[in-house]
Structure 1
Amino acid sequence: MQVTETLSEGLKRELKLVVPAHDLSSRLDQRLVEMKDRVRINGFRPGKVPVAHLRRLVGRQEMAQIIDNVIGETIRKVVEDRNERPALNPEVKLSEEVEAEKLVDGEADLIFTATYELLPAFEIQDFSTIAVERPVAEVAETEVDEQLARIAEGNRPFVEKEGAAATGDRVTIDFVGKIDGEAFEGGSGEGVDLTLGSGQFIPGFEDQLVGASAGDARTVEVAFPAEYPAKHLAGKAATFDVTVKSVSAPGELVVDDEWATKLGLESLDKLKEILRDQIRSQYDQASRAKVKRALLDQLDGVYQFDLPEKLVEGEFEQIWKQVVDEMTQAGKSFADENTTEEAAKADYRRIAERRVRLGLVLSEVGEKNEVQVTDDEVSRALVERARQFPGQEREVFEYYRKTPAALATLRAPLFEEKVVDFILGKAQVTDKTVAKDELFKETEEA
């Protein structure tokens, strides 16, 4: 085998490889000898098929498979011998000087090029020099009380009443929505409970039912908001034929231990404790996101190195597709965002470069420090993923177990979070008490 480096420019490499024809023929001879004891061909006893006859029957087919295998094996060996780490699988191109017919007949050398980019080499910095602030906020009792009040209101009893419905009353209705006189999908319901003034339905709908009594039939005229999620309805005028089945007034609500037990809890204090823990969990997630962002910003400033172009291009294309899809769904243009397509592309390419750079850094840190994601951790992530598809859990499990690439998408974020934890464990992290609004405030850059 001959190996000639034809390009060495930055991270780019191109190799010309030549595998002699006699090496390919030797492999084919070996394979045919192994096959002759297994194949069954009419007119020949088992194991007695002449190799020459077998070559005429399947020689070309087997040689094509051998060539594929040789290309893969050769590239792996050469890259390993050169002590290189390609960013992606090398691109292979057969030389134009090789005649395909002669190649599969074993009469020509296999000549091809392998083009690839290397993963950049860089030194891992001393993380003890990194200093970040972790914003933390105290959970106020007023927020616990607000959450408790929302739960209580959602569980308020209603008592059926005579007479007209007022704001705050609950009506049970049947309705059929129409656009241009035709009923539309998803616009009908039966026995639907609606608290007037809750804002549960589109603007204007509930107001037109104030004053209605049980047995009344009303035509409600509304317009869907321009930003309504269902694009086929956004901005369109609609009518709803509504029949009021019953009217109920809000009953007395007493928030005490007895009420809490009806929710399945031992006491009101226990419910408050659960709410406090839930709020604290939300605070912790926001704090984690902020400190991680601060850490990544510092890493992005510390590490500067050439990036594999194809990795950046792949990341950019993924981001750009998402951007375009979201703008199309929202019916917006770049002008609506006070930018141009060219400027937006430049911005998102910088984001792609940042993601690739930080991804390479985190990967290198994790590998050098033997950060591992266990199978149990991946299994738990898979369970959480399956829960997002009620009724399809079995199909989700089967898909991920049969699709290694999909399973890798569950492992990757777990690995990233563990590497971030590893770095934070080495860095100088100082807690800073902030108000809730500051904790949840999104920066313009984010």
Structure 2
Amino acid sequence: MQVSIETTSGLERRMTVGVPAERVEVEIENRLKKVAKQVKIDGFRPGKVPFKVVKQRYGAGVRQEVVGEVMSQTFYEAVTQEKVQPAGQPSVEPKQLEAGKDLEYIATFEVYPAVELADFSSIEISKPVAEVTEADVVKMIDIFRKQQGTWDAVERAAAEGDQVNINYAGTKDGEAFDGGTAENSDLELGSKSMIPGFEDGIVGLSAGDEKTLELSFPEDYHNEDLKGAAVQFAVKVNAVNERTEAELNEEFFAKYGVSDNGEEGFREEVKANMERELANATSNKVKTQVMDAVLAANEVDVPKSLVAGEIETLRNQMFQQFGAGAEGLDKSILPDDMFTEQAERRVRLGLLLGEVIKAEKISPDADKVRAKVEEIASTYQEPEQVVEYYYGNQEQLQAVESAVLEDQVVETILAKATVTDSEESYEDVIAQQQPAA
């Protein structure tokens, strides 16, 4: 087999492969002999069809099949011989397919880039240090009480925190605009769900009051026609409702899955969940910094084919999030450029972290995998069954192993980086959390 390879641009390679005719012709001959033993043709007994007849009838199809298989086989033989690592599938262009002559084709493909990792000792990481205080727990429980509370009508002026039921009609230059009108709409004052000034303008109004609000849409509003536009809203208040928080009782605790030890048990459960959330948020914040630092310290080219594959993965994930509403929709409504930046980041990180794993000889720690599975299981009512499920489902277990492996890579980098503790509150750490990749 003759192989020549050249670099066309960046990571792209153009490889010409020549395969001896004998390899193709012998395989075609053997394949046709098998066909001859099995084929049924009128006028001939099974297995007694003349080889010439079989070749005339099936030769072209068998040749096409064999040539395709030989090109696939020899491509991987050739890249192994040339010690190149293809990224994605090649584009194959046949050059010589004539029977009796050497098979020749050109394969164009991208290769994985050579990665040289920077010295991680130059990386600086700020690690948040926080704890869940009693005040944090009280605040969280107050949120739960509000969520489970009721709205009760009151005969007084509306205040921040109240819920008002309103009719409103918006106009711009005297003309109504899309989305600017509603009837019997509930609005919590202070929720900031309306444009600036809208909710403040209703504070102090009582049921039956009417008022015209002179407002302006923000300059960064998503609707081009309304960006920075001066508008008027004619508002009528139908009702003012005051929130009555839910009582801390057995019925309330049961809604959050707590049935033992009353209020003390509930507070302990809330605090445990908050501490778990804080630990995850802290880990994510540190991980995000590490990933950003790794990307900033290491330049690496990314194969377009890998980016394209990642774009498709992200697009499919978004369609899955749409659920049943996405059925029958054309995926092209979500263009590539929606995902390109994130896809490139993920591919670059994958290449760099893969190099760290190889260089440091890291593999998933079985004890850490078990601890992660048990952590996941602890949020369920029957944790033992969840643990059994994960260890009985290879796909789910591999997902946990991948997460643990990523954590181990972060730990390896942190061990070489400069890490500074930063005293922060629970709320600050939770508010700042974001995905690492």
TM-score, normalisation: structure 2: 0.61
8 Å Cα contact 1:365-1:419 kept in structure 2: no
What is the rounded CA distance, in whole Å, between the counterparts of 2:126 and 2:202 in structure 1? 52
Identity in percent: 26
Which residue of structure 2 lines up, in the alignment, with residue 78 of structure 1? 78
Which residue of structure 2 lines up, in the alignment, with residue 360 of structure 1? 351
Which residue of structure 2 lines up, in the alignment, with residue 166 of structure 1? 158
Where do 5+ consecutive residues of structure 1 fail to align? 323-344, 385-400
8 Å Cα contact 2:36-2:54 kept in structure 1: yes
Report Cα offsets for 1:51-107 as digits up to 9, x if no partner: 322333332233222222111100111222344423343443333xx3xxxx25x24
What is the rounded CA distance, in whole Å, between the counterparts of 1:300 and 1:42 in structure 2? 68
Q: AA paired with 2:412?
A: I
SS in 2 for 1:37: helix
**1:31 Cα deviation (Å)?**
1.6
What is the rounded CA distance, in whole Å, between the counterparts of 2:254 and 2:310 in structure 1? 53
Which residue of structure 1 lines up, in the alignment, with residue 36 of structure 2? 36
| Cα separation, partners in 2 of 1:181 and 1:64, compared to 1, 3 Å | farther
Report Cα offsets for 1:214-254 as digits up to 9, x if no partner: xx99999987656455778877868789793x554445x58
What is the rounded CA distance, in whole Å, between the counterparts of 1:218 and 1:133 in structure 2? 50
Where do 5+ consecutive residues of structure 2 fail to align? 316-336, 377-392
Q: AA paired with 1:283?
A: L
What is the rounded CA distance, in whole Å, between the counterparts of 1:158 and 1:77 in structure 2? 72
Q: AA paired with 2:158?
A: A
Report Cα offsets for 1:3-56 as digits up to 9, x if no partner: 234559996654322113333222222222222333344444433333322333
8 Å Cα contact 2:190-2:199 kept in structure 1: no
Please point out which of 283, 295, 309 is paired with 2:278: 283
Asked if 1:414 corresponds to 2:403, the answer is: yes
Q: AA paired with 1:432?
A: D
Which residue of structure 1 lines up, in the alignment, with residue 325 of structure 2? none
What is the rounded CA distance, in whole Å, between the counterparts of 2:287 and 2:201 in structure 1? 46
| Cα separation, partners in 2 of 1:271 and 1:224, compared to 1, 3 Å | farther
Please point out which of 138, 142, 146 is paired with 2:139: 146
Q: AA paired with 2:16?
A: K
8 Å Cα contact 1:134-1:429 kept in structure 2: no
SS in 1 for 2:363: coil
What is the rounded CA distance, in whole Å, between the counterparts of 1:186 and 1:50 in structure 2? 82
Please point out which of 347, 368, 371 is paired with 2:363: 371
Q: AA paired with 1:360?
A: L
**1:178 Cα deviation (Å)?**
9.6
8 Å Cα contact 1:4-1:16 kept in structure 2: yes
Report Cα offsets for 1:143-172 as digits up to 9, x if no partner: 3333333333444444344x5653354445
Q: Which moved more, 1:26-35 or 1:8-17?
A: 8-17
8 Å Cα contact 2:149-2:246 kept in structure 1: no
8 Å Cα contact 1:315-1:356 kept in structure 2: no
**1:137 Cα deviation (Å)?**
1.7
Which residue of structure 1 lines up, in the alignment, with residue 381 of structure 2? none
Q: AA paired with 2:62?
A: E
SS in 1 for 2:89: coil
**1:173 Cα deviation (Å)?**
6.2
What is the rounded CA distance, in whole Å, between the counterparts of 2:346 and 2:112 in structure 1? 15
| Cα separation, partners in 2 of 1:23 and 1:261, compared to 1, 3 Å | closer
Which residue of structure 1 lines up, in the alignment, with residue 106 of structure 2? 113
RMSD: 5.6
Report Cα offsets for 1:395-429 as digits up to 9, x if no partner: xxxxxx9xx9xx9x978963762442562586578
What is the rounded CA distance, in whole Å, between the counterparts of 1:42 and 1:176 in structure 2? 83
| Cα separation, partners in 2 of 1:414 and 1:268, compared to 1, 3 Å | same
Which residue of structure 2 lines up, in the alignment, with residue 423 of structure 1? 412
SS in 2 for 1:89: strand
Q: AA paired with 1:56?
A: Q
Q: AA paired with 1:371?
A: S
Report Cα offsets for 1:125-151 as digits up to 9, x if no partner: 998998866332223333333333333
8 Å Cα contact 1:178-1:184 kept in structure 2: no
Matches within 5 A, 1:241-260: 244=238, 247-251=240-244, 253=245, 256=248
What is the rounded CA distance, in whole Å, between the counterparts of 2:132 and 2:122 in structure 1? 32
Kindly tell me the number of residue pairs found equivalent between the two proteins. 376
Q: AA paired with 1:273?
A: E
Asked if 1:64 corresponds to 2:64, the answer is: yes
Asked if 1:2 corresponds to 2:13, the answer is: no
8 Å Cα contact 2:364-2:401 kept in structure 1: no
| Cα separation, partners in 2 of 1:297 and 1:61, compared to 1, 3 Å | same
8 Å Cα contact 1:311-1:356 kept in structure 2: no
| Cα separation, partners in 2 of 1:38 and 1:128, compared to 1, 3 Å | farther
Q: AA paired with 1:292?
A: K
8 Å Cα contact 2:282-2:433 kept in structure 1: no
What is the rounded CA distance, in whole Å, between the counterparts of 2:399 and 2:171 in structure 1? 43
Which residue of structure 2 lines up, in the alignment, with residue 24 of structure 1? 24
Q: Which moved more, 1:146-155 or 1:129-138?
A: 129-138
8 Å Cα contact 2:11-2:303 kept in structure 1: no
Report Cα offsets for 1:374-415 as digits up to 9, x if no partner: 9xx9xx99xx9xxxxxxxxxxxxxxxx9xx9xx9x9789637
What is the rounded CA distance, in whole Å, between the counterparts of 2:407 and 2:216 in structure 1? 49
Which residue of structure 2 lines up, in the alignment, with residue 134 of structure 1? 127
SS in 1 for 2:38: coil
Which residue of structure 2 lines up, in the alignment, with residue 212 of structure 1? 207
Q: AA paired with 1:93?
A: E
8 Å Cα contact 2:201-2:213 kept in structure 1: no
What is the rounded CA distance, in whole Å, between the counterparts of 1:112 and 1:68 in structure 2? 11
| Cα separation, partners in 2 of 1:198 and 1:10, compared to 1, 3 Å | closer
What is the rounded CA distance, in whole Å, between the counterparts of 1:243 and 1:172 in structure 2? 6
What is the rounded CA distance, in whole Å, between the counterparts of 1:42 and 1:187 in structure 2? 78
